[in-house]
Structure 1
Amino acid sequence: MGDAGDAKAPVPVTQDLIASLKPAKVFKEFVQAEHQVTSLDYDDRGELCVTASDDETIQLYNCRSGKHVKTLYSKKYGVNLARFTHKSSAIVYASTKEDDTVRYHSMHDNKYLQYFRGHKRRVVSLEMSPVDDTFLSGAVDDSVRLWDLRSPAAQGHLRVQGHPVVAYDPTGMVFAVSINERAAVLLYDLRKFDHSPFLTIMIDDTAALSQIMIPPRVPIITYLGFSQTGQYILAGTSGDVHYVLDAFSGQMLFRLVGHVGLERAEGGSIGMVPTAGISGQELCWSPDGRIVIAGSATGQLCFWAIPEQPPASPPETLQPSGSLNGHGGLPRVVAFNPRCAQLSTAGAEVAFWLPDTQM
């Protein structure tokens, strides 16, 4: 595998570059049979990535060399949503057994540095601040909590119904929370954590969804991500549509369709009541915020080039600009390296993708 970090200048992320991506390195031996990787995260420098799997392992990879570094275990507590802190040697992650504690773990000497207790049910969203050592967690106990790595006590607590998903904007001063009961995204000022949201974005897609099913079946929001400029919010769902929202006006700008949502990934027919399924980690922005890449239940990766100008009559429905094949099984985890032209996908295996010009 070529050195994904060799380029001295940033590589423009164009449609042609995305279309040329191919798996350069595939790791199958670090995911046990019948198990799946459930999350993947890059460190700040884009040199390392860490995965969490439902086989209760944490795997560390070097993205530059394309080599596996080490395996760590969390057999007692389970592991999901592993996220690097701003130190490449440490992560936070959600427990899946025993309790719902978030754990701060040193990978260097394989020991726990802190425990963050408070959630009473499964943690489904976990995000580090882009600017400091605070992080947000959302759980199906109807709560979102703000934490600081230096303290075991929550710094803030929001009551939120349902399956809350959290995201920071690039400044770290604003955060978003999804509310599935109302199909809404709420924006908060971090300095006023316990105040009401300063913007509520209602995702009203009734007209389009009614053409598919009556009454319309509103999909579960399972992912939130701000674009690099903070202008757009990507609201990913477990269904067959994702949304691009204007973070300032709250307007729904684009509907991304043409993929098959991961609610269907585990087989069987879908019911009237939507569920999250295995959705939540299968889509992302390109680092420049111009392209969205998402895994599909078909096994493909779909990508959409987001127009630079907002549509005259929003929302505009966008079909994929292209698709990629090559991931073995379902690409339930998709992440773009923040520092170079490298994509990672994961599920039953982990794959590092590079443009074919770099292989």
Structure 2
Amino acid sequence: MGIGKVFKDDNTAPINSMDFCGDGTLLITASDDESIHLYNINSGDSQKQLYSKKYGVDLIRFTHHNDAIICASKNQWDESLRYLSLHDNRYLRYFKGHRNKVVSLSMSPVNDTFMSGSLDDTIRLWDLRTNVCQGIIRRNGRPSLSYDPEGIILATAVSGNSIKLYDVRNFDKGPFSNFIVHHPQPVEWTGMKFSNDDGSVHVWRTLTGEEIAVWGGHHSKVGCVQWNPKLMMAASACSTLSFWIPSINES
């Protein structure tokens, strides 16, 4: 892979989160400079720029509509989640309930529900059609969570190297599976995602540090990486956003 295009001047602070839309044609980014940028993948251009000066913006995620997103606040006084229309930069709904910083957000791939995990030791289930919380899972520690591609299983991970799997339809009955990730030190999860392929999972052995590729080019710490769900490309970001595409070997 090689860098196909770089956007150097769009952000004045690190990009903290980004997401591809379901059909892979758009990428949305959120930055610590309180800006939201929308990029067209087919043309490789910046398409729209919005700001969230009052709340800040973090954990940005597309809904099932390319002109609407959900996101978390990034300030010291508000922990609400927001449903934002990109068409007219208008908040459609607020989701209040968390009492500490929201650190994980996952949109269901099949309907209008989504999950949020917070440092208040709760995971909450929401529905875009109402601001009333639909359910709560209580777990101690920093939670990371993800829906599976069918929207049936919810995976949660917290400190202690433990991953628990829930049936979304019966999450109130507790996890149906629990397993431990063996690692020499306790793990603090910062993100997790189901593999959306034929079921294979590639693992890098932490004890040997074996690697298959190194992508260089960023001038500071890379804070987030996303693969396009439809195209052979990826995006990575510090305060600079880079698109990665297969390089052509001319030899």
Same fold, TM-score > 0.5, yes or no? yes
Question: Are 1:136 and 1:146, in contact at CA under 8 Å, matched by a contact in 2?
Answer: yes
State the Cα deviation string for residues 338-359 of structure 1 (Å, max 9, x = none).
111111010120011111239x
Q: Aligned AA for 1:185? A: I
Match of 2:206 in 1: 257
Please list, as runs of the form range in 1=range in 2, the aligned pairs for 1:121-132 lying within 5 A after superposition: 121-132=100-111
Q: Aligned AA for 1:219? A: V
CA distance in 1, matches of 2:44, 2:204: 35
Q: What value does the CA root-mean-square deviation take over the aligned residues?
A: 1.8
Please list, as runs of the form range in 1=range in 2, the aligned pairs for 1:311-330 lying within 5 A after superposition: 319-330=210-221
Deviation at 1:230, TM superposition (A): 7.8
CA distance in 2, matches of 1:112, 1:103: 7
Match of 1:344 in 2: 235
Deviation at 1:179, TM superposition (A): 1.9
Give the secondary structure class of the aligned counterpart of 1:356. Answer: coil
1:26 matched to 2:6? The reply is: yes
Deviation at 1:53, TM superposition (A): 0.6
The two structures have a TM-score, normalised by structure 2, of 0.94
The two structures have a TM-score, normalised by structure 1, of 0.66
Question: Are 1:184 and 1:202, in contact at CA under 8 Å, matched by a contact in 2?
Answer: yes
CA distance in 1, matches of 2:210, 2:191: 19
Deviation at 1:229, TM superposition (A): 4.5
Question: Are 1:179 and 1:185, in contact at CA under 8 Å, matched by a contact in 2?
Answer: yes
CA distance in 1, matches of 2:235, 2:219: 13
1:101 matched to 2:80? The reply is: yes
Match of 2:29 in 1: 51
Question: Are 1:170 and 1:229, in contact at CA under 8 Å, matched by a contact in 2?
Answer: no
Match of 2:116 in 1: 137
* Percent identity of paired positions between Structure 1 and Structure 2: 42
CA distance in 2, matches of 1:203, 1:354: 32
Deviation at 1:45, TM superposition (A): 1.0
Give the secondary structure class of the aligned counterpart of 2:173. Answer: coil
Gapped regions of structure 2 (runs ≥ 5): none
Match of 2:186 in 1: 218
Question: Are 1:170 and 1:230, in contact at CA under 8 Å, matched by a contact in 2?
Answer: no
- Structure ID, larger Rg: 1
Question: Are 2:24 and 2:231, in contact at CA under 8 Å, matched by a contact in 1?
Answer: yes
Question: Are 1:147 and 1:153, in contact at CA under 8 Å, matched by a contact in 2?
Answer: yes
Match of 1:227 in 2: 195
State the Cα deviation string for residues 11-40 of structure 1 (Å, max 9, x = none).
xxxxxxxxxx111110111111xx200001
Give the secondary structure class of the aligned counterpart of 1:157. Answer: strand
Q: What is the total number of aligned residue pairs between the two structures?
A: 248
Deviation at 1:256, TM superposition (A): 3.7
Which gives a bigger RCO, structure 1 or 2 (Cα 8 Å, sep 6+)? Answer: 2
User: Which range moves more in the overlay, 102-111 or 320-329?
Assistant: 320-329
Q: Aligned AA for 1:83? A: R
Please list, as runs of the form range in 1=range in 2, the aligned pairs for 1:1-359 lying within 5 A after superposition: 21-32=1-12, 35-97=13-75, 98-180=77-159, 182-205=160-183, 209=184, 217-229=185-197, 231=199, 254-257=203-206, 319-357=210-248
TM-aligned CA distance change 1:201 to 1:343, over 3 Å: same
